[in-house]
């Protein structure tokens, strides 16, 4: 007799998506120990239906100097077409300070990292459905010396 639990739709659905329980701040600091080109931090309005108000760039720079003590390491700052502000830095501590912001010039904000220049995406074929995503992530991390931020399982129809 096998010790395997029977697969129900609920257990299969739980094995479709995995997200690391590490915070973005911790992941950025860990990325600082690896080789990378730059870290891009995006700042957007906490209310997803609104854009960040445009402001005088000198006022924005003065505000950043007040709240980020490693502001000298910010290489670029620009408004995006989507009404967000994109900061580029090579310093992981500066990126963490930007990620920790909750208000930006009297506006409630949310922050996130654009992982494009820091991480890689890859596809692994033919993983059995009964293999838990947590177990797979742990194995990938241990054998390849990398952090798994998130994984998604795509199921074939046949």
What is the per-residue pLDDT across 25-60, written as a single tens digit (0 to 9) for each?
777 777 666 666 788 899 999 888 888 888 888 898
Q: Which tens digits make up the pLDDT trace of 92-135?
A: 889 899 999 999 888 899 998 887 666 667 777 777 777 788 88
Whether residue 143 lies inside any domain: the answer is yes
Number of domains in the chain: 2
Closest by alpha carbon to 24, among 95, 107, 109?
95
41 to 23, 57, 141: CA distances (angstroms) = 14, 17, 25
Whether residue 144 lies inside any domain: the answer is yes
* Shared domain check, 148 and 85: no
How far apart CA 40 and CA 92 sit, in angstroms, is 10
* Shared domain check, 124 and 109: no
* Shared domain check, 130 and 81: no
Element (H, E) at 141: helix 133-144
* Shared domain check, 91 and 143: no
How far apart CA 87 and CA 76 sit, in angstroms, is 6
* Shared domain check, 73 and 133: no
Buried b / exposed e over 70-91, threshold 16 CB at 10 Å, is ebebbeebeeeeeebbbbbbeb
* Shared domain check, 88 and 44: yes
pLDDT at 14 over 70: no
Whether residue 126 lies inside any domain: the answer is yes
Instruction: Look at residue 117 in the predicted model and tell me its pLDDT.
Output: 61
Domain containing residue 125: 120-152
């Amino acid at each position: 007799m096998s010790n395997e639990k029977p697969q129900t739709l609920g257990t299969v659905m739980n094995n479709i998506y995995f997200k690391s329980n590490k915070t973005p701040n911790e992941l950025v600091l860990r990325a600082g120990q690896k080789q990378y080109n730059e870290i891009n931090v995006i700042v957007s309005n906490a209310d997803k239906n609104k854009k960040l108000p445009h402001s005088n760039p000198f006022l924005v720079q003065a505000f950043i100097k007040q709240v980020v003590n490693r502001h000298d390491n910010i290489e670029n700052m620009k408004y995006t077409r989507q009404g967000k502000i994109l900061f580029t830095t090579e310093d992981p501590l500066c990126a963490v300070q930007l990620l920790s912001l909750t208000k930006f010039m009297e506006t409630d904000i949310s922050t996130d990292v654009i992982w494009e220049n820091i991480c890689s995406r890859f596809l692994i074929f033919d993983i059995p459905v009964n293999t838990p995503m947590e177990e797979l992530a742990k194995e990938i991390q241990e054998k390849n010396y990398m952090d798994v931020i998130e994984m998604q399982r795509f199921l074939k129809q046949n």
